[in-house]
Structure 1
Amino acid sequence: MRQKLTLATAIFSLLFSCQLLAKPTAELTAAKQTGIALYNQYKMVPAIQHLTIAAKGGDAESQYYLAESIRNTKRYMTEEAQHWYEESANQNNIYAMIQLGRSGDNLCINMGNCPKSTKTPAQWLKGALDLTKPAAESGDPEAMYLMYELTLKDEWLEKSANSGHALAQYWMAIGTRQGDGFLLPWKRHEAVGNWLKLSAEGGYPPAMMEYAAFIYEDQGDLAVARHWIIEAAQKGYKSGISSYGAYSAHSPSLYDFPLDRIKGYALTSLLSELDGGGDVQVYVNETLSEIAEKMTSEEISEANEFAKNWKATHPPLSFFPDKLSR
């Protein structure tokens, strides 16, 4: 759902982008894009190398993802991670402010080696709240979702979802499935499906796969389920690629996908790129071997060409991790 742009929403969007470089160079842009793509594949070490370039150039989003990469690699808040969170937060990056606000619960407290900050966690959270609340109250869907993260009040999550924020709609589905709210069993099931459908239509790949599974389990229209699996794959979602590949090769045969071993082999082979970033190589090796047993060498060559063309014309593979990681 498109929102009417209000002054507060415009200000929030401006603060949210908050780039120091009005015209980033091609090198910085490429470093940022590559770094974030690697981060989304859980390849933190190479991501750090690329994100450092863009972060040093002053890009607030790169600074945030660099801090995330360092913290996730070390498993706790290090001095370097905190430095980059603060660099990003000082450019009014709300996500960085929230992570700094959450640092009071960090492992480094138990270790007794938390780095010193320019502000307390409470001060960072207050700053994030002060920037986010006006935009949320003016109807900005993402700001509403961030208000939920800041306050943990379900009303903000529901407002964000009702305003069209796909991530909020996904979490409404998950929460409803787990028993949130007062709904009769059949109404709860229906509500889960409705939220997943809205999130999928909003472009969120994990919801696309969840909705496909919902339809399958509900004995619904398998053509619709196949559509969402393909959509998730086309967006680069790891689960979408693996499912589309396996089901196309009938390894196993589910969702009534037409048999296409060339496509199945090609898509499965793409997952090798994630080796070291999600522990999927064992699956790839076993599945490719199973598919290849029923293919000729010419078909495998054709599949390799299919994979090359797919990679050149589709987004990078991604696990689509939450931007606000824990």
Structure 2
Amino acid sequence: MKLNTTKILKFFYYIFFILICQTANAALTQHQEEAKNKGIELYNQYKAISAIEFLKIAADAGDDEAQYYLGESIRKNNRYITQEALKAYEESAKKGNIYSMIRLGGANDDLCVTMKNCSPSELSAVEWMEKAKNLAIEQASQGNAESMYLLWEITGNDDWLEKSAESNFALAQFRLATKYQEGGGIFLLPSKRLDAIEKWMKASAENGYPPAMMGLAAARINKSDFSGFRIWNENAAALGYVSAVFGYASYIGEGEPKYGFVSDPVTSYALLYNLLELDGGGNVINNVKDVLPEVEKNMSKEQITEAKKLAKNWKATHPPLSFFPDKLGY
């Protein structure tokens, strides 16, 4: 009987892949962990180029999440999956990182196809996506809410999004709320749709997801609940969500703030001053440069000195600024 060499090689690769997925990441040293965190921080501030050198430190140590973000940073800088990005994704995927598998599974839609310079992958895009799906199903069956969400990303089946939201995964709750906002789902009455939107936005906000906090703040202001708007805006700002920080700082920087905020030019200046570090993407820095001088012109030199001290203290005692980009976004 003639043996099918290709099938035999694939069989042994699958066995090897499963064994690798079951192997935990090696523990990172403090230096490697700090580099990983810094790299992700920069990535979330749309500074992918600056993130690469930090992410490489943890990626070279075998951390699958750092490898995924390294692949993302390289891909976004080049606008397609380069050979270096592909290597990072594959190393991450072999450790069971579903995000990397999904990215590899979407390689047929990558710009490299149009450019006709795609690097050869160890598996086809279809095979990577199948692996992502199978692993996500296995983890979802064990109650993993994030894997339920990833199954929605993979299959487009809204049942998985709903299951993930019901299992308390904050991002799924936010996505479900926004899906309803955009007209998805079936509701007999418009009021029922609004109730569902607020229900899931609130659930996500209470689970600590800052974009949902601002979504809930918007829902509160539509109902003239200014107190609720202020609370959720401030909560999101305290967690470093860029749009919330800018909004909050802009309100309290005014002499007569809207929505019941109390004028506080020192804190306003401090927060706007910190936003100046966002000189990568996102364009918020242009808005800051418009607002900051308006706040500053009514402040004394002593207030400005106090504000800069507060800016430093705020940065040391709060999470880093972040745009909270979609982890699987383009």
Q: TM-score, normalised by structure 1?
A: 0.91
User: Which range is displaced more, 205-214 or 129-138?
Assistant: 129-138
One-letter amino acid of the structure 2 residue matched with residue 228 of structure 1: W
Higher relative contact order (CA 8 A, sep 6+): 1
Shift of 1:38: 0.4
Paired position in structure 1 for 2:5 = none
Q: 1:265 & 1:217 partners in 2: Cα distance?
A: 28
1:278 aligns with 2:276: no
Q: 1:219 & 1:47 partners in 2: Cα distance?
A: 41
1:192 aligns with 2:193: no
Report SS of the residue matched to 2:25. coil
1:302 aligns with 2:303: no
1:245 aligns with 2:282: no
Deviation string, structure 1 residues 292-317 (Cα, Å, up to 9, x no partner) = 11111111111111111100101111
Note closer, same or farther for the CA distance 1:18–1:307 as it changes in structure 2 (3 Å cut): farther
Q: Which has the larger radius of gyration?
A: 2
Deviation string, structure 1 residues 260-315 (Cα, Å, up to 9, x no partner) = 11111111111001012322222112111000111111111111111111001011
Q: 2:278 & 2:321 partners in 1: Cα distance?
A: 8
Paired position in structure 2 for 1:7 = none
Paired position in structure 1 for 2:56 = 52
Deviation string, structure 1 residues 171-208 (Cα, Å, up to 9, x no partner) = 11111011111112111112111111111001110010
Paired position in structure 2 for 1:132 = 136
Shift of 1:141: 1.0
The one of 84, 87, 102 equivalent to 1:98 is: 102
Report SS of the residue matched to 1:295. coil
Shift of 1:223: 1.6
Report SS of the residue matched to 1:273. coil
Paired position in structure 2 for 1:216 = 221
Report SS of the residue matched to 2:65. helix
Q: 1:177 & 1:265 partners in 2: Cα distance?
A: 34
Cα RMSD of the aligned pairs, angstroms, is: 1.6
One-letter amino acid of the structure 2 residue matched with residue 30 of structure 1: E
Identity of aligned residues (%): 47
Q: Give ranges in structure 1 of 5+ residues lacking alignment.
A: 1-14
Aligned residues: 310
1:263 aligns with 2:251: no
Report SS of the residue matched to 1:95. helix
Q: Is the contact made by 2:102 and 2:154 (CA closer than 8 Å) also made in structure 1?
A: yes
One-letter amino acid of the structure 2 residue matched with residue 152 of structure 1: G
Paired position in structure 1 for 2:11 = none
Note closer, same or farther for the CA distance 1:18–1:187 as it changes in structure 2 (3 Å cut): farther
Paired position in structure 1 for 2:120 = 116
One-letter amino acid of the structure 2 residue matched with residue 272 of structure 1: L
The one of 19, 35, 41 equivalent to 1:37 is: 41
The one of 187, 194, 201 equivalent to 2:206 is: 201
Paired position in structure 1 for 2:4 = none
Note closer, same or farther for the CA distance 1:43–1:114 as it changes in structure 2 (3 Å cut): same
Shift of 1:19: 4.6
Paired position in structure 2 for 1:163 = 167
Shift of 1:18: 6.2
One-letter amino acid of the structure 2 residue matched with residue 194 of structure 1: K
Deviation string, structure 1 residues 109-153 (Cα, Å, up to 9, x no partner) = 111111100000111111111211022133221111011111110
Q: TM-score, normalised by structure 2?
A: 0.90
Q: Is the contact made by 1:226 and 1:257 (CA closer than 8 Å) also made in structure 2?
A: yes
Paired position in structure 2 for 1:232 = 236
